[in-house]
Structure 1
Amino acid sequence: MQSIYMDHAATTPLATEVLEEMTVIWQGPGGNPSSVHAFGRNAKQQLGRARDRIATQLHCSPAELIFTSGGTESDNLGLAGAAWAQRKAGRDHIITTAIEHHAVLHAVDRLEEQGFRVTRLLPDASGAIVPAQVIEAMNEQTALVSVMLVNNETGTVQPIEQIGAAARERGILFHVDAIQALGRLPLRLREMPVDLASFSAHKINGPQGIGALYVAKGTRFEPQLLGGPQERNRRAGTENVAGACGFARALELAESRRESKRERMLQLRQRFLELLSDLIGRDAFILNGGSSEQVPDILNLSFPGVSAESLLMNLDIEGIAVSGGSACSSGALSRSHVLTAMGLSEQLAGSAVRFSFGLGNTMEEIEYSAQIVATLVLRIRTTA
């Protein structure tokens, strides 16, 4: 039986080149970057070089990057750090969307419990946020707007340039969850109307447990983790030196391959959809968010009359890893909050599966997987 991984939007395999660079760090000599002796100075130099390398790829200043433990912390830190700083300036209103990752949604829920006022906007039927709605929701008390760049479930690309420009005109801080955009879209942070942006290494064939938060120079920001003076007093805690170096290498590789990877992902996507159309008919599935701009390697499909949970379980038995809905603590599936916000019926949202392609996927795997999906869909419909 084949073993095929098509869940790259969840996490990606660690690149060999990244592992090699991290292994050198792990083999030592070790050192705490905050220590003043030679071991500490060496670790600090390695950390500084990693920060410089990431800043070069993101087109920002190294001083504008804070290393974190991953995307969730970057989102939480960016939102809370900006919101509390703005509250000192008399602003307590937050605008976000109903299709954000839970790392944003739950962080905003906590801020609301702490006294902030929150506006949550719905997308249109394609999954895109309408800039005019965001602008209409802004007022003199708005402290912060948070809109993701690429949706993790549908791959929809959001119009952050228009939203960010409007926020900047009004003195409102703009946070962007760019975790799924990293390595997929060109990011020149100093040219973008963005004050804070969140990133994670494990989405680009880097290590898990390391991320970064971009905080543009001059942005009001309140630290949330207290302790030592690390990260210019913005995020306490001993830094993950090996992780930072792995992140830097992964980003360099991702950027060098970005255009060629995009072309390859388009080919895989088109072939997968073409085969499904041939095998079960184009009317047998719905491409969610297909009328909006999407990254090519995230494909969200609903199969009317088929339970996503049944399809996922059967695909797993066949050795094919994909995802659907949102995983909860029990391991079962809950209805996707993204698809629900887009207006999909309970039946369509409950039949949605996300296929996300990445480095290592071959055309042969795509063709084999499409055949298995088609066979399972027809079988499940017949027995339902």
Structure 2
Amino acid sequence: CSRLEHPSILRVVEAAQVDHTVHWLPIDHRGRVDPGELERWLGVIPQPALVVIQWVNHETGVIQPVQDVVRIAHAHGAVVHVDAVQGVGKLDGRPWCDADTVTVSAHKIRGPKGIGALLGAACQGLRPLLLGGPQERKLRPGTVSVPLAVGFGVAASWASSSPSRYDAVRVLRDHLEDEMTKLGARRNGEEPRAPHVTNVSFEDMRGDELVSAFDVEGVCLSGGSACSAGSPEASSVVSAMLGAQRGAGAVRASLGEETGEDELSRAIEAIRRVIGRARGHG
């Protein structure tokens, strides 16, 4: 596992350290794990059990070398879990298809909130966290929400139809990055990246203060993952990549298929006003 993971995985792994040995993979300045480092570590770890990797980082959009990680882990007898939440419906291909388990979330593909999917043959050997009825293949007890399941199915079918529609989103994202760079921002994370997320740092400013100022202007950004919006903590991902100072000034923006040029232009003007005021120019 690495410090790049989403809190929903990271906190579980941290808690597992009470009873298990956890090895944290180093992260390079690009925001990626190094498959070579994984291979070196697995070569010296006795009986490696589980390797966890995300497909797309939730803060920077950086795409991880999932296929290489799966291949190396399996060669050493380890099970692989892939968090595919941020990539499904936005990227072509399924580099995670050989993983033992994969997680997907409905709300990231315009489906209903409150439902996700756990895929993979290795699910058969899992023990449920909660005890009760035999629903959901005895992994999650309780009455199944049919509306959520149907909504998830429709969203999944629609999302898999044509990820290329995010090509237009990439163009808008790149334009936003260019404009923020002109204001002194530095991009966090290098290619390959998903098309819908950008993360930049204003090193002479605090990210949480910028997020509040942007909010007043009607622009929704965050200092970390979307679920941490409103938290004053610096970006843990950017801090792990590039240091605490860079992480403290980091802000994240995400765009969707419905984001238009007019909306983006208004956001850019608002960002200019905020940065100008912060620097005493407005």
| TM norm structure 1 | 0.68
- Assess, with a 3 A threshold, how the Cα gap between structure 1 residues 174 and 217 changes in structure 2: closer, same or farther: closer
Deviation at 1:217, TM superposition (A): 5.6
1:116 matched to which residue of 2? 20
* 1:136-155 mapped onto 2 (5 Å cutoff): 136-138=40-42, 139-155=45-61
Task: Tell me the CA shift for residue 345 of structure 1.
Answer: 3.8
SS at match of 2:24: strand
Partner of residue 200, structure 2 = 301
Residues 32-71 of structure 1 aligned to structure 2 (within 5 Å) = none
SS at match of 1:199: strand
Q: Secondary structure at the match of 2:22?
A: strand
Contact 2:207–2:250 under 8 Å retained in 1: yes
SS of match in other structure, 1:179: coil
Q: Displacement, 1:200? A: 0.6
Report deviation, 1:196.
Answer: 0.6
- Confirm or deny that 1:249 pairs with 2:145: no
> CA 1:257–1:210 in structure 2 vs 1: closer, same or farther (change >3 Å)?
same
* RMSD (Å), alpha carbons: 2.3
Deviation at 1:326, TM superposition (A): 5.7
Q: Any conservation in 2 of the 1:156–1:293 contact (CA below 8 Å)?
A: yes
**Percentage of matched positions with identical amino acids:** 34
1:335 corresponds to which residue?
234
Deviation at 1:309, TM superposition (A): 2.0
User: Which amino acid letter does the alignment assign opposite residue 36 of structure 2?
Assistant: A
The aligned counterpart of 1:352 is 250
Matched, 1:104 2:9: yes
Distance 1:341 1:117, change over 3 A: same
Say whether residues 1:287 and 2:191 are aligned partners: no
Work out the CA distance in 2 between the residues paired with 1:104 and 1:133: 21
Contact conserved, 2:33 with 2:64, CA < 8 A, in 1? yes
Deviations 1:268-318 (A, max 9, x none): 1122233345xx45xx110100x3311111000111222222221121111
Deviation at 1:129, TM superposition (A): 0.5
Unaligned runs of 5+ in 2: none
Find the structure with the greater CA-based Rg. Answer: 1
Tell me how far 1:218 sits from its aligned partner: 8.0
Match among 289, 306, 319 for residue 218 of structure 2: 319
Structure of greater relative contact order (alpha carbons < 8 Å, 6+ residues apart): 1
Q: Distance in 2 between matches of 1:216 and 1:195?
A: 6
**Please, which moves more after superposition, 137-146 or 126-135?**
137-146
1:1-384 aligned within 5 A: 96-113=1-18, 115-138=19-42, 139-188=45-94, 192-216=97-121, 220-260=125-165, 262-277=166-181, 280-281=182-183, 284-289=184-189, 291-325=190-224, 331-346=230-245, 348-382=246-280
Deviation at 1:356, TM superposition (A): 0.3
* Deviation sequence 1:355-379 (CA, Å, 0-9, x none): 1000221011111211211221121
Give the number of equivalent residue pairs: 280
What amino acid maps onto 2:7 in structure 1? Answer: H
Judge conservation of contact 1:145–1:172 (CA < 8 Å) in 2: yes
Q: Secondary structure at the match of 1:319?
A: coil
In structure 2, distance between residues paired with 1:193 and 1:165:
8
Q: Supply the AA of the counterpart residue of 2:252.
A: R
Change (3 A) 1:98 1:205: same
Which region of structure 1 is more displaced relative to structure 2, 234-243 or 115-124?
A: 234-243
The change in CA–CA distance for 1:328 and 1:207 in structure 2 (over 3 A counts) is closer
Query: Residue 250 and residue 381 in structure 1: after superposition, are their counterparts in 2 closer, same or farther (change >3 A)?
Result: same
Moved more, 374-383 or 147-156: 374-383
Counterparts in 2 of 1:339 and 1:329: CA distance versus 1, 3 Å: closer
State the distance in 1 between where 2:98 and 2:205 align: 42
Matches of 2:124 and 2:34, distance apart in 1? 26
Q: Which residue of 2 aligns with 1:51?
A: none
| CA 1:217–1:173: 2 relative to 1, 3 Å | closer
Task: Give the unaligned 5+ runs of structure 1.
Answer: 1-95
Structure 1 contact 275–367 (Cα < 8 Å) conserved: no
1:215-263 superposed Cα distances (whole Å, 9 cap, x missing partner): 2268642332221111222222221211011011111222224112x21
